[in-house]
Amino acid sequence: MPDKFVISNTPIISMPHSYSDSEIVFALKKGGKVQDDAILYIYKKNKSLLLSILRSSFRNERSKTPDDIIWETIEVFVNNVISEKFSIQENKTISAYIGKIARNLMIKYLDSEDARGIREIRFGEEAEALEDDISVALVEQESWSNYLEMFEKIGKNCKRILQMVFGLGYSIKEMAKELVDEGLYENEQVVRNAKSKCLKNILTKL
Amino acid sequence: MTEQELEILEAYVLGNLEKKKSAEVEQRLLSDEEWQSNLKKMEVLKALPEKLALRNKIKSIHQEVLKEWEQESPKKGKIISWPKIAVAGIAASVATFIYFNQSHITLPGQLTMQERGSDSNISESDRVDFQKFKDAQALLITGKNQEAAEAFAQIKNEEHLRKYYRDLARWLEVVALAEIDKPKAAQLLREIESDDDFKYKIPYFDKIRLKTRLLF
């Protein structure tokens, strides 16, 4: 594994060495800095593919850009590794798998935009059907994107409160101390009421 | 479900219920569809912050990589210009970290800073302060510790800022200094620890990590 990687503006990133596919899987599951390094390596390793997506023809015409397709591709792959839906197989390299995700993501997106004509021009007959395992991953990706979108819309204070409770494991007392200190709420009871209201609100939306 | 029942279910999802209570919840879950439905939703809710953090991490790396590719191929023209991703990077999540040898330090203040106001009601001076804070954090994340320390030192003295933010800047100055000037970092950390009115709650493990860093 690389000793140190710092995201830097200039001159940017150089990878100390190659990762094998199993090292990538290990690093993605481990999380933290080694996960960052592995994600970076995936970008580097698949540069040609990703650049070809960037230069694809629908880039300026739609709500979703090729840019979105790229990070979503990486996100689907990383989530699949973390949830152990992806495993190393003899005839299945990570690069090939990422290529399939990207292609399927583009097909799915173009389908959803009712742009069948464009899809056929770009991918031809070979891409008519989504591949099963990737198809499931894309459906899950879409669900999580919807959840995240709902979460983003519940209001800044609610979002923060729910992140503190469900993401960071704050107790009401700990949360109240921080939020009251900041002057966002008057006292613990008000925080408690706000949390209850936020929870009910998000439960009705999810 | 009543409010109290929701609290019980929440405690169950978060693993905060004692064994006997957990068993009661599990019994209820076997037959009650509303409980089952809310359990699923709370499990989603529990996973969301992590999903959000991963998404923001990927977007942040994505942005840096594409910036590099753009610089590598100037003759091919501008490959990218994605403002929505630019704003989604550093400032978007509570769960951003700076890395520190083998461990990391959380940067929890950016969400709060961002949430000082929405685009519609944020004042121009708030916007400038927020931008300064984001710039300082970006310096820290990119390993420009000297510049980051100087930037946070300036922010901590902005008297019109709420103390919470000034204290957060004090802590992040220490984090930056730990990489370049350990004695000064240690001195400022002692000052923070002796300040009874210090408003930013430093995560316990972050403080331990920093202290460990100061030892070596």
3-state secondary structure B131-169: HHHHHHHHHHHCCCHHHHHHHHHHHHCCCCCCHHHHHHH
The token duo for B2 is: 């009543």
What gap in Å lies between CA B40 and CA A96, rounded to an integer?
34
Same domain for B57 and B96, yes or no, is no
Cβ neighbours of B145 (radius 10 Å): 19
B77 within some domain: no
Give the single-character DSSP code of A18.
Answer: -
Contact A166 B46 (CB under 8 A): yes
Residue in chain A closest to B52 (alpha carbons) equals: A148
Please check whether residue A204 touches B, CB under 8 A: no
Q: Token digits for A144?
A: 């999580």
Place of tokens 């972050």: B206
| Cβ-Cβ contacts under 8 Å for A79 (sequence gap 6 or more) | A137, A140, A141, A144, B51, B54
Given a cut of 70, is residue B135 above it in pLDDT? Answer: yes
Q: What are phi and psi of B128, to 5 degrees?
A: -65, -45
CA B143/CA A154 separation, integer angstroms: 34
Question: Which tokens belong to A122?
Answer: 């770009």
Cα–Cα distance between A20 and B201 in angstroms, integer?
41
Domain boundaries, chain A: 46-151, 153-205
- Residue B54 sits in the same domain as residue B97: no
**Which residues constitute the domain of residue B53?**
3-61
Judge whether B69 lies within some domain: no
Q: A residues 44-73 near B, CB within 8 Å? A: 44, 47, 51, 54-55, 65, 67, 70-71
Q: Is the Cβ pair B142, A203 closer than 8 Å?
A: no
In a domain? residue B114 = yes
> Is residue B94 very low, low, confident or very high in pLDDT (cuts 50, 70, 90)?
very low
| Structure tokens belonging to residue B204 | 């316990």
Nearest Cα neighbor of B110 from B172, B50, B159 is B172
Mean pLDDT of all residues in chain A? 80
Question: Do B145 and B38 share a structural domain?
Answer: no
Quick one: B20 and B108 in the same domain?
no
Point out which residues pair with B105 in neighbouring strands. Answer: B98
Tell me the pLDDT band of B64, cut-offs 50, 70 and 90.
confident
How many domains is chain B built from? 2
ipTM: 0.81
Give the pLDDT confidence score for residue A199 in this predicted structure.
94
Q: Are residues B172 and B93 in the same domain?
A: yes
Number of H helices, E strands in chain A: 10, 0
Q: Do A206 and B44 touch (CB under 8 A)?
A: yes
What are the chain B neighbours of A157 within 8 Å (beta carbons)? Answer: 115
State the smallest CA–CA distance between residue B176 and chain A in angstroms.
14
Q: Are residues B210 and B103 in the same domain?
A: yes
User: Is B50 within the bounds of a domain?
Assistant: yes
Residues B97, B190: one domain? yes
Q: Which residues numbered 108-167 in B keep a CB inside 8 Å of some CB on A?
A: 111-112, 115, 118, 141-143, 162, 164
Q: Which residue has the tokens 């819309």?
A: A153
Work out the pLDDT band at B143, boundaries 50, 70, 90. Answer: confident
CA distance A34 to B102: 9
| Same domain? B95 vs B19 | no
Q: Does B43 touch chain A (CB under 8 A)?
A: no
**B74 found inside a domain:** no
Identify whether residues B103 and B194 lie together within a single domain.
yes
**Do B124 and B205 reside in the same domain of the chain?**
yes
Residue B121 pLDDT > 60, yes or no?
no
Question: pLDDT at position A137, please?
Answer: 87
Residue B70: inside a domain, yes or no? no
* Chain B residues inside the 8 Å CB shell of A101: none
- What integer best gives the mean pLDDT of chain B? 75
Task: Find the range with the poorest average confidence among A103-112, A180-189, A193-202, B63-72.
Answer: A103-112
User: Could you give the 3-state DSSP secondary structure of residue A74?
Assistant: helix
Could you say which residues from 166 to 195 on chain B have a Cβ atom under 8 Å away from some Cβ of chain A? none
d(CA B141, CA B15): 33
Contact A6 B64 (CB under 8 A): no
